[in-house]
Amino acid sequence: MSADRPAVTLRRFEEADAPAVHRWFNNPAATASLMEQRDEFTLEQAEAWARRAMDDSGEDRKFAIVVEGYEEPVGFTALYGLFRQTAPELGALIGDDVRGKGVGRRAEALTIAKAFDEYGAHRVYGRIPARNEVAKKTVAGLGWKQEGTMRAHLARRDGPPDDCEVWGVLPDEFRAAAADLLE
């Protein structure tokens, strides 16, 4: 890949990823548009988070985003609620300085491909704060459609509640839109 579009892969989490997790969840630029926000996130909490992310015995899977040239993962993607009749939900956080370089789009595409190809999902959905234009642009570019709005769904400390949009994608829509990323 070119220097402005670094190579992106996913891998399982490791205990040694806790410092990176701690850094991401303490980066105000990275967490400002998350569904849920925390007042604090200690290293001990990051260590526990990383241990839970390593556990693949339940319905959730988390993946560390690895970017060529970076020693530690730069963020994560997740599939919440696999193996149900309902569709799994995609989650993502890009916690380091790679935002705006296509890392999130590539990582989300790899994760959605896993949902369909490895886990047999019939669709994938996500809830996105209505003001998160970057996330909406990213998923729209991967074939997703906005399916509705939950008004005043997200309570915020520093202002009125945010609306939350529901987006979703079916396998054929995704494969058509993301073909260039999956070659």
Residue 2 pLDDT level (bands cut at 50, 70, 90): very low
In the numeric block, the tokens 């074939």 are attached to 143
CA distance 77 to 64: 7
User: Given this model, what pLDDT does residue 50 score?
Assistant: 97
User: Given this model, what pLDDT does residue 4 score?
Assistant: 59
Choice among 43-47, 74-78, 101-105 with the minimum mean pLDDT:
101-105
User: Given this model, what pLDDT does residue 164 score?
Assistant: 95
Distance of alpha carbon 58 from its chain centroid, rounded?
18
In the numeric block, the tokens 């670094």 are attached to 6
With a cut of 60, say whether residue 11 has pLDDT above it. Answer: yes
With a cut of 80, say whether residue 32 has pLDDT above it. Answer: no
Q: What is the mean pLDDT of residues 85-103?
A: 90
Nearest to 22 by CA among 3, 40, 6: 40
Average pLDDT, the chain: 92
CA distance 86 to 108: 20
User: Given this model, what pLDDT does residue 1 score?
Assistant: 45
Residue 97 pLDDT level (bands cut at 50, 70, 90): confident
Q: What is the mean pLDDT of residues 44-60?
A: 96
User: Given this model, what pLDDT does residue 36 score?
Assistant: 77
CA-based angle 100:76:86, to the nearest 5? 110
CA distance 43 to 107: 25
Q: What is the mean pLDDT of residues 23-34?
A: 84
CATH number of 8-181, picked from 3.50.50.60, 3.40.50.10860, 3.40.630.30, 3.40.50.300: 3.40.630.30
What does the pLDDT look like over 98-155, one tens digit per residue? Answer: 878 899 999 999 999 999 999 999 999 999 999 999 999 999 999 999 999 999 999 8
Break the chain into its structural domains and give their ranges: 8-181
